[in-house]
Amino acid sequence: MNTKDSPGVIRSSSGIELKNYYTAEDIPESHRHRVHSAPGDAPYHRGWHPTGYRSKPWRIFQLSGFGKPEDENERIKFLLKNGETGFIMEHDRNTADHCYNVDHPEVVARREDVGLTGAVMQSVRDIAICLDGLPVDTSFGHAGGAVVQHAPFALAGYWTVAKKRGYDLSKIAGTGQSDFNLTYLGCVTKQQIPTDAGLRFNTDIIEFCGEHLPRWVPVSIAGYNAADTGLSPDQELGTLFANAVEYLDEIKRRGNVPLEQAAKGCAGVSFRASIHIFEEAAKLRAARLMWSDLLRSRYNITDPKTANLRIHCVTAGSKMTYQQPLNNIVRGTLMALTAAMGGVQSLGVSGYDEALSIPSEHAHQMSLRIQQVIQEETNFCAVTDPLGGSYYVETLTAQLAEKAWEFFEEIQQQGGYLASLDSGWLHAKAAENQHSEFMALESGEQHIVGVTCAREDESPFEVDGFMGTDDAFDVATERLQETLRTRHEAGACAAMKNLEAVCRSETNIMPVMLDALEAEVTLGEIGDIYRDVFGDWNTPIQT
Amino acid sequence: MHDIQQLISAALDGKRAALARLLSVIEGADQNLLAIESQLTPPVGEAFVIGITGPPGAGKSTLINRLVPHALESFGQAAVLAIDPSSPFSQGALLGDRVRMQGGEFGERVFIRSMASRGEEGGLARATSTAVRLFDACKWPVVIIETLGIGQVELDIMNLADTVLVVLNPGWGDEIQANKAGLTEAGDVFAINKADKPGAAQTRKDLLDSVSLISSKSMPDIMETVATTDKGVLELWQAITAHHARLISSGELVERRHNRQRGLIRRIISDQINRLMDDALNTEEVAMLLEKSTVGEVDIHKALHRVLALMNR
Amino acid sequence: MDHSQKRILMAKTGLDGHWRGPTIVARALRDAGFEVIMIGMANTDDIVRAAVDEDVDLVGLNIGGHINVALRAVNSVREARPDVPIFAGGTVPPHAKKQLEALDVEVFPPGSQLVDIVAAADRLTGRSAD
């Protein structure tokens, strides 16, 4: 990691120098007393609940989706049948991330890509097909809307379908994502509303959910997307909380809803579980510690229900290799165990074919089986915070929190999280790490099994990329025309007019978005309004 | 030089690939540059040359992307030359301006060319002025040049463009004085981009103060834009074309172009002299003389005269 | 007609904005002395237009998604610039890799070494003889 180190020095991926072994004296003074706390006690590094996985094992929660809405529906049913305990809808990224309909020239130019990562859903009709027969009322559903400008559409679509089926919105549980790290850092789209408009959307969603959908996690800040772009674990933590204060400060400034309610809405986050197992587990412990510290010191919030961070984890996709892909089952298992040790409420394991394509049905099944083996066979769930009291892990927990706060401060010095995205400062940090990570591999300082060493492969199993269906674009095109032809046009036009007016005002966008979905306004039409009103984010990176 | 002649006639004939190749040829070596320059005389001088400069991150590329449709409406076609820095270590470069100005929908009507500065200071690449003349000769009616924009004073654009647009952002008043003076002097039109951010009014004031210090300068148009939403871009384009019209009606355009020709000749001659000098310095004879002069065996003047003599040969 | 400075076009064929891989590669090529013209997410028309106007010596495609989208770009570049070699990287599953290689496109799947990518750029642009 650092070429200036003398030989023999080993560092964690956050740059913390690691000792050969640890003793009680290594645990930083300020952290020592916390070692004796119990799970469920503030500051919660030992876990969110006194009896941990004994009361409730983590939710098995896999990202899934491709093709037509009915293809995605079928895959979700397959996962639920095989033991998934919540479900995630993924919308086709070509159309969703950009708020394009399939007839947009940029989409037409890539028509075969449509439906490859997520199902195409351009109107509430498509969302209804995708949700057909799914337990919207009893299960924890992820409505999609990972990218900020797409979230209001995805959420409103899910809720509209739920309402039509007669469910009370105040009782349904689930989440969207609407993640800044994905949108503006990790996976920069060709077109996106600027960050200040994005902040407005997310605070609108937080306020709306606080009022109408108390069981819904309105936004889910994803450290994952910061980490898989290159930020180190301490930076992942610092970035996540810098993002959170951006939301909370804005909520406070607006003063429409109680801050505590909004903080609860921000308390469902996601992290990446990567391959450095102890550091990653310590990171999740540090995250809970930091959240309760932050709420207490910055906002004077101590209510356990709010100050207790709920964590979804996804194993690191970028650690999955193209070469000898079955090795990834081992990597997935290690990273899943790491997440479980650190303490999570839900977990997704990347498919073993991650570096080749979206997961095949079999890869998906393996992601479930990995988690089921840990939950059912290993007696893992018997003991909460199994790493608690480890000299090493407690030390790392405290050190990571400290380093993360330093990074948080660096971001504040850049003018805050949004400013550090707009200027490309965070992207530069990520690129720096990517570069040194690569250099360490090239120099042979670091190894990846099957890639830089142990390259012989005698596997009789050929793993090829999963290519989904081939009719998603054609069917979506037909359905779009059908929707435009058969919807109540005057109603749709009125809804669009209202949406545009609200976009230009400071009124919460969600009520008119629900009206728009109800009136069968399509995704691309909504995107056109955004592009007109908000313009395009000035991407600070050049690829 | 047979190939070059062929390329030139193909390019003048409207062959795009030939023009593209010629641009590489002039970037490649100075003698090519001269050979092409000599074939392009007498200069055509029909193209409207717009230079766009300003600090890094001001939004120059994004603004150009927004100006291009207006340029197409006014002129039918537009060429863009985007200059980015070369790495002083590897001589390589990352040329990323095109990301923000793909303009695929304009098809053949837009010709974007990325150029690395290749060690040149002053905001342009060595081949930029010849590139402009090539576009001009090939009947591209407007050439927009985006300078390096790495923060230092980039005044070369004044000698190349008819109209220089300086792009600034709110908060520009905090810039260091030298940069401020340079940019103020260079600008014929100013755009305060990202004008929706706080501080636009202060920047306008700073700019006015700064301009008023230059006695020879008439008060330029200061426009406010938000390139990301297209706000103020039409008005900016109108200010740019109005400046151009004033240049024509006042006769200043002719004067500017005379200066440009003068600069060009000066540049060609000094390039030639430099090359002759380097050739002379690289001869074994001079190398030996220099070696002796370092240890005091010959007078340095003898080496100097020998170099001059070799250059005159 | 010596112009020794080699220029490489780098484009992403898909609309998926993961920038990790292409950025690392672009940096490595820059550090090896190439001028790298980046055009980001580009459709076939954008790629062809840039390959011609920028007079590049090599086209690099970052591929994610369906192989047909990449093949369309490859075929169109071949048509407009038959002289220019193409290499590709990204999430390219084995079946897609074979199809590209059949079209004489060198493919660098995830896990490829930068030294190998730079060496290929040297060879394909004629900077080195090997």
Best mutation site among C61, C66, C114 for testing chain A: the one with the most A CBs within 10 Å? Answer: C66
Chain-chain contact of C39 with B104 (C-beta, under 8 angstroms): no
Give the residues across from A271 on adjacent strands. A313
Point out the residue among A536, A540, A542 whose CB comes nearest to the CB of B228.
Answer: A536
Choose among B32, B99, B107: nearest Cβ to C39.
B99
Q: State the complex-level ipTM.
A: 0.93
* pLDDT value, residue C2: 37
Quote the tokens at residue A190. 């060709």
Which residues have CB under 8 Å from B271's CB, separation 6+? B30, B33, B34
Mutate to test the interface with B, among A420, A536, A539 (most CBs of B within 10 A): A536
What distance in Å separates residue A114's CA from the closest CA in chain B? 21
- CA–CA separation, A154 and A234 (whole Å): 31
Residues on chain A touching C115 (C-beta within 8 angstroms)? 442
B-chain residue closest to A530, CA distance: B229
Cα separation of the two ends of chain C = 22
Question: Among B158, B156, B155, B128, which Cα is nearest to B143's?
Answer: B128
Which residues touch B298 (CB under 8 Å, ≥6 apart)? Answer: B289, B292
My answer on whether omega of the bond before A511 falls inside 30° of 0, hence cis, is no
pLDDT (0 to 100) of residue B42 = 61
In a domain, A281, yes or no: yes
In angstroms, rounded to a whole number, what is the distance separating the alpha carbons of residues A472 and B113? 37
Residue A156, in any domain of the structure: yes
- Each domain of chain B, given as residue ranges in start order, spans 1-42, 43-250, 264-312
Q: What is the pLDDT of residue B178?
A: 59
Q: Which residues, 6 or more positions from A490, have their beta carbon under 8 angstroms from its beta carbon?
A: none
The b-or-e profile of A370-393 (16+ CB within 10 A means b, else e) is bbeebbeeeebbeebbebbebbbb
In C8-124, which residue ranges form alpha helices assigned H by DSSP?
A: 20-31, 44-53, 67-80, 94-102, 114-124
Instruction: Check whether A2 has a pLDDT greater than 60.
Output: no
For residue A483, tell me if it sits in a domain.
no
Q: Which residues pair with B93 in a beta bridge?
A: B86, C35
Alpha-carbon distance of B108 to B71, in angstroms, equals 14
Contacts of residues A448-452 at CB distance under 8 Å and 24 or more positions apart, as own/partner, are: A448/A321, A448/C111, A449/A324, A449/A327, A450/A321, A450/A323, A450/A324, A450/A327, A451/A321, A451/A322, A451/A323, A451/C111, A452/C113
Nearest CA in chain B to A193: B228
More confident residue, A516 or B289: A516
Query: What is d(CA A123, CA A114) in angstroms, rounded to the nearest whole number?
Result: 16
Strands (E), A209-307: 216-217, 268-273
Domain assignment present for residue A265? The answer is yes
Chain A interface includes B56 (CB < 8 A): no
In a domain, A480, yes or no: no
Please choose, from the candidates A468, A527, A471, A492, the residue with its C-alpha nearest in 3D space to the C-alpha of residue A125. A492
For chain B, report the end-to-end CA distance as a whole number of angstroms: 23
What is the model's pLDDT at position A358? 86
Q: Band of the pLDDT at C1, cuts 50, 70, 90?
A: very low
pLDDT, tens only, A167-219:
999 999 999 899 999 999 999 988 999 999 999 999 999 999 999 999 999 99
Tens of pLDDT along A510-525?
A: 999 999 999 999 999 9
Domains, chain C, ranges and CATH? 7-124 (3.40.50.280)
Cα separation, A378 vs A372, in Å, equals 10
* Domain of A278, in residue numbers: 10-453+466-472
Q: In this structure, what token pair is assigned to residue A219?
A: 């936004």
Q: Which residue has the tokens 């003389």?
A: B289
With pLDDT > 90 as the criterion, what percentage of chain A qualifies? 88
Q: For chains A and C, what is the number of CB pairs under 8 angstroms?
A: 111
Give the mean pLDDT of A43-55.
94
C56 in Cβ contact with C8 (< 8 Å): yes
Q: Is B240 helix (H, G, I), strand (E, B) or coil?
A: helix
Span A116-158, pLDDT tens digits: 989 999 999 999 999 999 999 999 999 999 999 999 999 999 9
Question: Across chain B, what does the average pLDDT equal?
Answer: 87
CA dist., res. A126 & res. A117, Å (int): 16
In 3D space, the residue among A102, A94, A107 whose CA is nearest the CA of residue A65 turns out to be A94
What are chain B's partners, defined as 3 or more CB pairs within 8 angstroms?
A, C
DSSP structural state of residue C18: B
Name the residue among A221, A208, A257 with its Cα closest to residue A417.
A221
What does the pLDDT read at residue A280?
98
- Output the domain CATH number for residue A184: 3.20.20.240
Tell me the mean pLDDT in the region B273-300. Answer: 88
3-state secondary structure of A134: coil
- Residues 6+ away with beta carbon under 8 Å from A235: A14, A226, A404, A407, A429, A433
**Is the pLDDT at B46 greater than 90, yes or no?**
no
Q: What is the mean pLDDT of chain A?
A: 94
The answer to whether C16 faces chain A, any CB pair under 8 Å, is: yes
**What pLDDT, on a 0 to 100 scale, did the predictor assign at position C3?**
42
Q: Could you tell me how far CA C37 lies from the centroid of its own chain? A: 11
| Mean pLDDT in residue range A104-125 | 95
Q: Per the structure block, which two tokens stand in for A153?
A: 């559409």
Encoded amino acid at B297, one letter:
E
Count of alpha carbons within 13 Å of C84, Cβ hemisphere only?
30
Structure confidence by residue, pLDDT tens digits, A454-508: 999 998 888 988 878 889 999 999 999 999 999 999 999 999 999 999 999 999 9
A142: in domain: yes
Q: Into how many domains does chain A fold?
A: 1
Instruction: Please tell me the distance from the alpha carbon of residue C47 to that of residue C61, in angstroms, as a whole number.
Output: 9
Arithmetic mean of pLDDT, B160-189: 81
Q: If we measure between CA atoms, which residue out of B82, B64, B105 comes closest to residue B237?
A: B64
Interface of C with B (CB under 8 A): 1-5, 7, 26-27, 29-40, 42-43, 45-46, 49-50, 52-55
The H or E element containing residue B254 is: helix B252-281
Whether residue A111 contacts residue A539, with contact meaning beta carbons closer than 8 Å, is answered with no
Residue A321: pLDDT over 70: yes
| CA distance, residue B72 to nearest chain C CA (Å) | 17
Residue A481 lies in a domain: no
> Is residue A400 within 8 Å of A392, Cβ to Cβ?
no
Cβ-based interface (< 8 Å): residues of B facing C:
3-4, 16-17, 20-21, 23-25, 27-29, 32, 86-87, 89-96, 98-99, 102, 104, 107, 111-114, 116, 118
Q: Residue B58: pLDDT above 50?
A: yes
In whole angstroms, give the CA distance from residue A100 to residue A108: 10
For residue C91, the distance in angstroms to the closest alpha carbon of chain B comes to 22
Instruction: Indicate the helix (H) or strand (E) that contains A284.
Output: helix A277-299
CA distance linking residue A117 with residue C16, whole number of Å: 10
CATH of domain B43-250: 3.40.50.300
pLDDT at position A70 is 95
Angle at A529 between CA A527 and CA A535, to 5 degrees: 85
pLDDT at A160 over 90: yes
Rounded Cα–Cα distance for residues B189 and B53 (Å): 11
Chain C residues within an 8 Å CB radius of A98: 15
pLDDT in tens, A277-317: 999 999 999 999 999 999 999 999 999 989 999 999 999 99
**pLDDT tens by residue, B114-169:** 999 988 877 888 889 889 989 999 999 999 999 987 655 567 888 889 999 999 99
Mean pLDDT of A17-30: 96
Mean pLDDT, range A66-70, rounded to an integer: 94
Collect all residues of chain C within an 8 Å Cβ-Cβ radius of residue A229: 19-20
Contact present, C75 and C104 (Cβ < 8 Å): no
Which tokens is A485 given? Answer: 């032809």
Within 8 A by CB and 6+ apart from B245, the residues are: none
Break chain C down into helix, strand, coil percent, rounded to 5: 45, 20, 35
Residues ≥6 apart with Cβ < 8 Å to A330: none
The answer to which of A321-335, A419-433, B86-100 has the lowest mean pLDDT is B86-100
